[in-house]
């Protein structure tokens, strides 16, 4: 904290906002009020100071003892004819230096919205200073911008793009499909981070969600956007063997927030969002949040679509398959949300979307409840299978959907 105050004074600034000081830490009431203002605070700040190498907010601070010659050119002592100095530069492309390494701040869920909403971030790492803003990322090694090849996962670029959109720096008429896609990237990054309190699972993204909602003119329902919720449902967990349901927080099973796991929106093969054809109708969807200490998001989705037994998609086996764990055969892949028992019972698949070569479905298990007015299910995973409309006896998806409606083969169900 003292380091941050010192930096603020050296920058010639008068005010600093520190959450540990400005929010009453042991007051749940004050926390609810102040956490709702975070989007406004970060978005309207001049810059955010990050102690990137500190294990926690109370440990380590910003400043580190470092060897300057590791990041600065070395005077060889052999001058040129005009007596100017001759310097030796390290090959940063070979050493990997100059790009900000993964730091403790990249492991904390609450920090992500600071990284997205702050117009500028000044990060103090073990070795050098790093700068991130709307236009580029830089370091002491690369003051004119860190080369793009360091960002192999494109995470830095995604964050900069979303930062620019939320700051209204881009022109009007922006592609909303791009914003929805960027949100899914945010969910992937967010889900891989650690959180001290499970009850904060959705609250820690509230600031970003509020800003994205104003751009999309859409509403967030338990972490999924209402207008494209059929696409947002196509999440999967990267490792079902380590995934588990939260104990101090709960959400509808169709929401990625219902599991503590690293989430993936990666589609199978070479599919992209633009390739998907919608195969399900969302009749209604609602979610409400309780205000208890053990937070609960109550939600219900009523959908109409085609249901098929998982067994009808051909033989499959339990166990790891390719990169993901779950039921897997050459054409069918079942990725569990949490690892299921040996005999999970009857599983049905709700067809949600399809591309020219892959079909995407939710794996559902029936609930032991009265089927009024519709039968109820809970989501237990995502199923993808290779195939085209011909797999179901049709020449196109619109033709198949028309036929299923005429034959009254479309069912209306509730997913809790």
Same domain, 213 and 277: no
Same domain, 274 and 207: no
Residue whose token pair is 């020219």: 356
Domain for residue 228, yes or no? Answer: no
In whole angstroms, what is the distance from residue 198 CA to residue 184 CA? Answer: 20
Domain for residue 236, yes or no? Answer: no
Domain for residue 73, yes or no? Answer: yes
What is the per-residue pLDDT for 317? Answer: 41
Provide the percentage of residues in the chain whose pLDDT is more than 70.
85
> For residue 57, what pLDDT band results from cuts at 50, 70 and 90?
low
Same domain, 190 and 299: no
The larger pLDDT score, comparing residue 341 to residue 165, is at: 165
For the segment 269-316, what is each residue's pLDDT rounded down to a tens digit?
889 889 999 999 999 999 887 765 557 888 899 999 999 998 887 654
What is the per-residue pLDDT for 228? Answer: 96
What is the count of structural domains for the chain?
A: 2
Residue whose token pair is 């050459």: 330
Same domain, 201 and 281: no
Averaged over 63-77, what is the pLDDT? Answer: 71
Q: Is the pLDDT of residue 244 over 70?
A: yes
Domain for residue 320, yes or no? Answer: yes
Averaged over 66-92, what is the pLDDT? Answer: 71
Same domain, 13 and 85: yes
In whole angstroms, what is the distance from residue 374 CA to residue 283 CA? Answer: 12
Prediction pTM value:
0.84
In whole angstroms, what is the distance from residue 185 CA to residue 179 CA? Answer: 10
Same domain, 202 and 294: no
Domain for residue 239, yes or no? Answer: no
Residue 273's nearest CA partner among 177, 154, 187 is 177
Same domain, 79 and 145: yes
In whole angstroms, what is the distance from residue 21 CA to residue 9 CA? Answer: 18
Domain of 375 in residue numbering reads as 263-415
Q: 181 with 205: CB under 8 angstroms?
A: no
Domain for residue 253, yes or no? Answer: no
Q: Is 325 helix (H, G, I), strand (E, B) or coil?
A: strand
Average pLDDT, the chain: 83
Averaged over 359-378, what is the pLDDT? Answer: 87
What tokens were used for 399? 């033709």
What is the per-residue pLDDT for 336? Answer: 93
What is the per-residue pLDDT for 364? Answer: 95
Q: Is the dihedral of CA 394, 398, 399, 402 positive or negative?
A: positive
- Strands 120-124 and 48-50: what pairing? parallel
């Amino acid at each position: 904290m003292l380091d941050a105050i010192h930096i603020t004074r050296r920058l010639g600034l008068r005010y600093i906002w520190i959450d540990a000081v400005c929010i009453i830490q042991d007051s749940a009431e004050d926390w609810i009020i102040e956490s709702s203002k975070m989007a406004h605070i970060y978005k309207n700040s001049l810059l955010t100071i990050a102690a990137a190498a500190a294990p926690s907010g109370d440990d380590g601070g910003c400043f580190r003892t470092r060897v300057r010659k590791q990041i600065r050119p070395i005077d060889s002592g052999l001058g040129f004819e005009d007596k100017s100095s001759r310097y030796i530069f390290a090959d940063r492309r070979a050493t990997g230096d100059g790009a900000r390494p993964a730091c403790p701040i990249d492991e904390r869920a609450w920090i992500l919205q600071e990284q997205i909403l702050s117009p500028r971030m000044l990060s103090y790492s073990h070795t050098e200073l790093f700068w991130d803003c709307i236009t580029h990322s830089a370091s002491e090694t690369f003051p004119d911008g860190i080369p793009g090849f360091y960002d192999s996962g494109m995470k830095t670029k995604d964050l900069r793009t979303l930062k620019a959109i939320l700051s209204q720096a881009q022109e009007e008429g922006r592609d909303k499909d791009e914003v929805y896609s960027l949100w899914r990237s945010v969910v992937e990054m967010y889900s891989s981070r650690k959180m001290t309190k499970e009850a904060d699972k959705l609250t820690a993204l509230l600031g970003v969600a509020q800003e994205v909602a104003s751009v999309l003119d859409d509403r967030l329902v338990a972490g999924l956007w209402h207008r494209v919720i059929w696409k947002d449902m196509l999440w999967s967990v990267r490792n079902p063997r380590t995934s588990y349901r939260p104990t101090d927080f709960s959400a509808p099973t169709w929401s990625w927030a219902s599991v503590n796991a690293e989430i993936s929106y990666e589609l199978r093969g070479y599919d992209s969002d633009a390739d998907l054809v919608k195969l399900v109708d969302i009749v209604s969807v609602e979610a409400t949040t309780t205000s208890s200490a053990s937070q609960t998001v109550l939600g219900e989705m009523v959908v109409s679509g085609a249901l098929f037994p998982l067994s009808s998609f051909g033989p499959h086996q339990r166990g790891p398959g390719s990169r993901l764990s779950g039921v897997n055969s050459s054409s069918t892949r079942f990725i569990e949300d949490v690892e299921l028992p040996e005999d999970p019972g009857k599983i049905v698949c709700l067809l949600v979307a399809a591309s020219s070569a892959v079909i995407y479905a939710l794996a559902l298990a029936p609930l032991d409840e009265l089927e009024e007015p519709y039968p109820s299910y809970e989501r237990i995973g995502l199923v993808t299978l290779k195939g085209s409309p011909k797999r179901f006896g049709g020449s196109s998806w619109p033709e198949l959907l028309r036929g299923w409606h005429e034959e009254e083969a479309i069912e209306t169900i509730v997913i809790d």
